[in-house]
Amino acid sequence: MLKSHAEKFGLACLVSCLVACGTEPAASERERLGVTESSIINGAPDAGHPMVVAYLHNGSICSSTIVAVKGSTGYALTAAHCVGSELGELSVGSDINAPTKKYTVTQALAHPGYKTSGVYDVAMLKFNGADGATPIMPVLTPQLDDLKSATTLDVIGFGKTEDGGGQVGVKHHKFLSVKDVTPLRLIYDQQAGGLCSGDSGGPSSYYPNIEYVAGVHSYVASNNGSCLVEGADIRVSPFVDTFIMPFINGQPIGTLTCDQCTEAHTANGLCSNAVGACYADKQCPSYQACTQGCKTNGCVVECKAKYPAGAILYDAIFACVCDTGCAVECEKASFCNAPQCGLSAAKPACQSCFEASCCAEAQACSENATCIDCQSSLVPGAGCKADPVTQAYEDCLATSCSDACGIPSSSSGGPGATSAASGGGSSGLGGGDAVASSTNVGAGGAGPTGETITVSACSASAGRANGHANGWVLAGLIGAAWILRRERPRG
């Protein structure tokens, strides 16, 4: 079944704004940092996480977690927007005005991807003076990450104590239930309290067997400047093997998966303008809503004909992801590799043949709802024989590519007649397995030759194979529209 990702876009939040978790306090606030109140709004005092420390630099305060120690060198995890021109120091203890120890930071590295997307909001700090007694909280690995909606995490930080005011600098914590999980983010409903300024970079801990850092506090979303709306962590596990451990081990920084990269650049990155353009035009959401109800590939083609401007804008998001934001990460993704002439065959010889001899017919088929459905159906309907576009495509295959595509030479009445009688697709190429090339949907069942045709349901010039990606590949579009309107003050 074709699945649209329209429901992932968060249209209702279009006019929201961002309040950064790690914004620099005003002078009057800095003067009152020693006043003891509940940080993590409506939280409780926290004395049980000695590895959660305050990160002080450039006159601002963030939170951080010591995650590893190698000899006398320690490593702490924080938020990328907390890193500034000054390396600063880590303050150990529950109150920054009464530290039990201080560590001088010797290196700070924001994730390189943060330059292009705020969803890469993680950073690593290196410091000297650690030893075997230095407490750590290890990071949650991908293998242990089974986080899902309704999972309860313990959020910890040195942030503001009251919504719209209060103090910062005293460590508190609060248990929050995860509202939504994406490849790169953990979203919290904060109407009863949670993250606020000064908590940035702090951990959300998870306890599958021992306590792990599951998330790094990143931002708070609101439509009125209040922190009591929605908060977000950057999910740690995607960065363990690509950023955190490489930094600790002195290795090159790696890349994220295609799904993760796509979320980063559609949510708050290089492709967010394309997402904004989609939602600024009525046809784009209408096109998504139309395809959401589709059960056949031909239906998608009809939606494209009904909302052509919307389809173009929607496909532009994928063009940005594939060509700009995630060209390396999504290089092999099906939705980034539109087939030549609009269709693909699993058999290379067949592909080469129809590209050379039947390209125009294949392209016309990919843009025709009836032809698409005829190629996608396990048992083609009676209308397939009467459709001129379908017949032109199948006649060309039978005439020019019968050997290459394994079409029985004894067929009469065109390849469709033979394959339909045998339970295959109307093309005689196992068309029952034909699907929209980026959706992996459609009826199964290979034809008599075991050959498979993949139908793109859009022209090759449109480029993005129907504009729908697998699984979570557009998960970054959750809330993408509302995140576009935010500004993230650096802290």
Give me the pLDDT at residue 56, please. 93
381 plus 448 within the same structural domain: yes
> Rounded to the nearest 5 degrees, what angle is found at the Cα of 367, between the Cα atoms of 361 and 372?
85
Mean pLDDT of 336-346: 79
One-letter identity of residue 147: L
| Residue 348 maps to a domain | yes
| Residue 278 maps to a domain | yes
Mean pLDDT of 220-239: 85
Give me the pLDDT at residue 415, please. 38
Residues whose CB falls within 8 Å of the CB of residue 468, separated by 6 or more in sequence, listed in order: 2, 3, 4, 5, 291, 300, 335, 436, 438, 439
| Residue 329 maps to a domain | yes
329 plus 344 within the same structural domain: no
Predicted confidence (pLDDT) per residue in 429-480, tens digit: 333 233 333 332 222 223 333 333 333 322 222 234 443 333 233 333 323 3
Which pLDDT band, with edges at 50, 70 and 90, does 416 fall under?
Answer: very low
288 plus 263 within the same structural domain: yes
Range of the domain at 310: 6-11+258-334+470-482
Sign of CA dihedral 394, 398, 399, 405: positive
Question: Which residues are bridge partners to 127 per DSSP?
Answer: 74, 105
300 plus 448 within the same structural domain: no
265 plus 374 within the same structural domain: no
Mean pLDDT of 168-181: 88
Give me the pLDDT at residue 463, please. 32
| Residue 423 maps to a domain | yes
Integer Cα distance of 307 and 270 in angstroms: 25
| Residue 305 maps to a domain | yes
Residue with the bigger pLDDT between 143 and 164: it is 143
329 plus 345 within the same structural domain: no
> Rounded to the nearest 5 degrees, what angle is found at the Cα of 470, between the Cα atoms of 295 and 12?
80
Q: What percent of the chain has pLDDT over 90?
A: 38
317 plus 360 within the same structural domain: no
Give me the pLDDT at residue 174, please. 87
457 plus 348 within the same structural domain: yes
Predicted confidence (pLDDT) per residue in 273-328, tens digit: 999 999 899 999 999 889 888 877 788 888 999 999 999 999 999 999 999 999 99
400 plus 442 within the same structural domain: yes
> Rounded to the nearest 5 degrees, what angle is found at the Cα of 154, between the Cα atoms of 149 and 155?
100
Q: Which H helix or E strand runs over 279? A: helix 272-279
Residues whose CB falls within 8 Å of the CB of residue 237, separated by 6 or more in sequence, listed in order: 139, 140, 141, 142, 144, 145, 214
Residue 123 has pLDDT above 50, yes or no: yes
Residues 465, 339: contact at Cβ < 8 Å?
A: yes
302 plus 411 within the same structural domain: no
454 plus 344 within the same structural domain: yes
Residue with the bigger pLDDT between 10 and 264: it is 264
0.85 exceeded by pTM: no
Token pair listed for 253: 């920084």
309 plus 366 within the same structural domain: no
Residue with the bigger pLDDT between 95 and 32: it is 95
Give me the pLDDT at residue 42, please. 60
Residue 211 has pLDDT above 50, yes or no: yes
Residue with the bigger pLDDT between 162 and 83: it is 83
| Residue 174 maps to a domain | no
| Residue 320 maps to a domain | yes
Which pLDDT band, with edges at 50, 70 and 90, does 338 fall under?
Answer: confident
Residue 424 has pLDDT above 60, yes or no: no
Which pLDDT band, with edges at 50, 70 and 90, does 127 fall under?
Answer: very high
Residue 435: closest CA among 288, 294, 290, 296? 296
| Residue 264 maps to a domain | yes
Predicted confidence (pLDDT) per residue in 357-413, tens digit: 889 888 888 888 888 888 777 667 778 888 899 899 989 988 998 888 888 754 433
Number of compact structural domains in the chain: 2
Predicted confidence (pLDDT) per residue in 62-85, tens digit: 999 999 999 999 999 999 999 988
Integer Cα distance of 425 and 366 in angstroms: 15
